[in-house]
Structure 1
């Protein structure tokens, strides 16, 4: 957690320098990578790291690990596939997001989230969260299956009509969905 906090503070400081004192920004060439709408606001990576930090602070470690994998790798997969292979827009007049990107993002979210959950849930320190290996696999499959529609809905409704970054919403909403569902396994 300390490491993520330090990274967040460092990256936030750099982004504030980029916005408030651009001539002092140490990596000016990177400024060209921002989309037009991001040039005058905090970069998407700030929201992603803030969401990851939230997940680490709030959720049990196996769920936090799955949430981080979904937020980072699922969303990245959706973007890459959408930009390189996407042909059919989900909402043509509102967003550039494509069905191809969203489907790839959902598949990647399920796979990476499950791997992240299992990788941490089966370590000796956290096996108590799932009990047996078989039960852990079932819990991991159910939690990640529930995360996929949440991932899609966030992808669908951001940035319009919700003017909030999906990089921030993904870890928070997916995390609470997984955590709430995990609570049912404890009954």
Structure 2
């Protein structure tokens, strides 16, 4: 039987599957509509966070899914929305798709595999080697699907995996899409000169 923390992690990661909706909106309605919807959603969730943090208002489902560190600070959904907004606003379409889906599926695979079968702890931050490998494989598959070449997909998967593994003080829902997308766009920009 799955532990409560494992089931809670599945529910938390399930919420992030909204990235699929973001990708679909971007694909069918375009960048401007997606940015507008993300900004609108961000205003709504920041308002809810204000009432939760400053006024003590509790939404039962939301409160149940919060991690201990999020009870008195912004929830990861805020950082996820900010990361999605940056990815859609700044990066090219396919890089944004890959960044969003790596944030969701790569991070989810790392967390779920790490919690379920992770045995080898690395880097002293609680991350497991098994989770890191699972994330890299998923990120690489996403990169290969959306990006133009193996080297670009590998670069993006490596950056996303390293960011998720090492950035423990900054919410990975913000830094994975921003850093992975940035390095791929930088590669595209510099590649004519290399």
Q: TM-score range by the shorter chain?
A: 0.7 to 0.9
The reply on whether 1:46 has 2:55 as its aligned counterpart is no
- Structure 2 residue 36 is the aligned partner of structure 1 residue 2: yes
Contact 2:114 2:127 in 1 (8 A): yes
1:174: which partner in 2? 180
User: 2 CA distance for matches of 1:144 and 1:48?
Assistant: 22
The two structures have a TM-score, normalised by structure 1, of 0.76
Aligned to 1:64: 96
Give the structure 2 partner of residue 144 of structure 1: 153
| 2:40 is the counterpart of 1:34 | no
Q: Residues of 1 paired with 2:78 and 2:99: CA distance?
A: 16
Partners of 2:143 and 2:154 within 8 A in 1:
no
Number of equivalent positions: 159
Deviation at 1:185, TM superposition (A): 4.6
Say which of 66, 72, 80 aligns to 2:112.
80
Within 5 Å, which residues of 2 pair with 1:5-24? 5-23=39-57
Query: 1:2-37 deviations in whole A, cap 9, x for unaligned?
Result: 1222222222222222212233x3x22431222212
TM, length-normalised to structure 2:
0.74
Q: Structure 1 residue 164 and structure 2 residue 164: aligned? A: no
* Secondary structure of the structure 2 residue equivalent to 1:181: helix
Q: 1:112 aligns with which of 142, 145, 154?
A: 142
State how far apart, in whole Å, the 1-side matches of 2:56 and 2:144 are. Answer: 41
Whether contact under 8 Å (2:143, 2:157) holds in the other structure is no
8 Å contact 1:66–1:114 — kept in the other structure? Answer: no
Using the TM superposition, give the Cα deviation of residue 91 of structure 1 relative to its aligned residue in structure 2, in angstroms.
Answer: 2.8
For the Cα contact (< 8 Å) 1:69–1:113, is it kept in 2?
A: no
Q: Calculate the aligned-residue CA RMSD, in Å.
A: 1.8
* Deviating 4+ runs (over 3 angstroms): 184-187
1:132 aligned residue: none
Cross-structure match for 1:97 = 127
Structure 2 residue runs of 5 or longer lacking an equivalent are 1-34
**Unpaired stretches in structure 1, ≥5 consecutive residues:** 119-135
